Chain A
Amino acid sequence: MTTTKEEVLPRLIDIIQPFNKKDIELTAATSFANDLELDSLTVMDLVAEIEDEYDIILPVNMLPDLETIGDVASAVAEIKSK
């Protein structure tokens, strides 16, 4: 079964919404570090949330390349499609 980034994105934004303390608009281009300003512990909390929602593991080597919500959506889609 294949899953696309576009399918993942709306639900992913719902999951991230509680972490959006600055109440900015969330899009595929929103950056975790620069726009959401999440600290590293909060990021891990979010990672756990995403992993539980999609029943996947986001491998440690993938994390450093995930800068934006769109990057995470692509990663989730890729893992789900395997």
Chain B
Amino acid sequence: MKKIGVIGAGIMGQGVAYQFAKFDYEVCLIDISQEVLDDSKNKIRNISRLDMLVNREKGPINPTATDNIRYSTDLRDLADADFIVENIIENVDAKTKVYQELSEIIQTTAKVVVNTSCITITRIGSLMKHPENVLGIHFMNPVHMRPTVEVIRGVYTSDESIETALKTLESVNMNGIVVNDSPGFVSNRVLMLTVNEAIFALQDRVADAESIDRIHKECFGHTMGPLETADLIGLDTILYSVEVLYHSFNDSKYRPAPLLKQMVDAGKLGRKSGEGFFKY
């Protein structure tokens, strides 16, 4: 396997593109917006710099990794890709459009990975001519610092596709834990409910944001508290993920906290906007 296609040049797409480029894969990074692509070039350079800063002690890091990435606005450039990772917005309509187009373009053997934390893989697979080649990988952020990922088997995903994905991950020093397709898989089903409940606790004035996070860090030994985690992920993404769980299960336990909705309306999206539950 040689050529990796990465669709969507946002934070996750940047991280995935870098991780494969670092291990000498030829990467083609696609986005509909040229502006986003231009911006991602800079961001990927910074990911590479952070990698050198943090991981240098673990072994030499190729400083020219970013040269392995080609940037394009044309999905047709993925016609010869062997392994495609899609990272666009977590929105079923937007994803549907991309997959319908992609299905006409790619090789019949290409593996297609939905990088998602909440959209069902089976539904995406049903849009493709070869649903057996479609699987999910829930990459964590930042990709190069979180080597373990959730690998999701859809109803139609073949064993061979899962095996190829695990081997491909291994080739870039990552490892996958295989789970079955279900809304939110394991990670988001548990994490989003925890974050949402932490926001309810803040809203109900049980404790302030700092105390809520300190309890998780100092009592439980977590590296980050739930509110700091929410700020890192982005509150708009959190709200969207909680809403997906709510609609998927039709269970009121996943209803989003009103404070979360209000903060998103106010543009307080966390780290990326400079303010969320904490200031940056």
Do A and B form a real pair? no
A-side interface residues toward B, CB under 8 Å?
none
